[in-house]
Amino acid sequence: EEAYVEFEFHKVFHTLHGLCATDLSAFYLDVLKDRLYSSLPDSRERRSAQTALYEILLLVLRDMAPVLSFTAEEVFRYIPEALKPKYADGVDVPTVFAMPSRDMAAFALDDARRRAWESVLAIRAEVTRAIEPLRKAGIVGHPLDTHVILYMDDELRKAVSLAGADLRAVSIVSRLDTAALGDAPVDAVLGELPGLAVEVRKAGGDKCERCWMYSEELGTDPAYPTVCPRCAAVLRELAAREEGAR
């Protein structure tokens, strides 16, 4: 907003580009793929992700409209009618340029939670660095091929708890365990983040053909022998719904 007021449109561009390329594409959308692709269509975690993406879409469109007018309007028109933003009286907003301002306070993090999430993102970066030598050696090909153990001090544990983050999902690995920093083996990777050591192993079990995570319980449901228990439960529920709809 300040950049627009000061007519510093290059700052608007760099801010939007950074949001889309780094915060969304390289992180948030990557993390969301599993729940969007693998969870039940109406599950809480999938619907929560869809709601967050919808809110992000509206905010990005509003912010890009003054400098990318035609693109913003074209995207706005592709929003399904049932999801078009509305005014307080229930009337549909006709164009991206008539979108009312949003109360950003509803999306703001307090300072403590912001710092906690900075710690979570730093942990993700350390996990990525620790996996890289195994990838280069040909031991693993993707982070989902790994089982990660994080050895954390109390301060870092509290930060993760405050953020409410699922570290396995954030790190995009098949399995993630945590332990006390004092229990870290001598070959654990010590990175730039204080209070953390990372141990990376090749994931045990077999690869689920649906979600691509490794599981030691693959095939425990005889009806779905090539998928993990989580995916088997989803497929069984989808099959039951399809049968009930006939």
pLDDT digits (tens, 9 = 90+) for 72-92: 999 999 999 999 999 989 999
Quick check: 65 and 72 in contact, CB under 8 A?
yes
Q: Are 65 and 17 in contact (CB under 8 A)?
A: no
At residue 127, what is the residue type?
A: V
pLDDT at 204: 97
Nearest to 61 by CA among 30, 46, 83, 32: 83
Measure the CA–CA gap between 212 and 71, rounded to whole angstroms: 35
Which segment of 48-62, 97-111, 211-225 scores lowest on mean pLDDT?
97-111
Contact 229, 220 (CB under 8 A): yes
> Which token pair is 35?
């729940």
Residue 245 has pLDDT above 90, yes or no: no
Contacts of 235 (CB under 8 A, 6+ apart): 210, 224, 227
Residue of higher predicted confidence among 230 and 108: 230
Domains within the chain, CATH numbers bracketed: 2-107 (no CATH), 111-204 (3.30.2320.20), 214-245 (no CATH)
- In tens, the pLDDT along 109-120 reads 899 999 999 999
Would you say residue 26 has pLDDT above 90? yes
103 has pLDDT over 80? no
Can you tell me the mean pLDDT for 160-165?
Answer: 94
Residue 130 tokens read as 């620790």
Q: In the structure encoding, which two tokens stand for residue 191, read together?
A: 């990175």
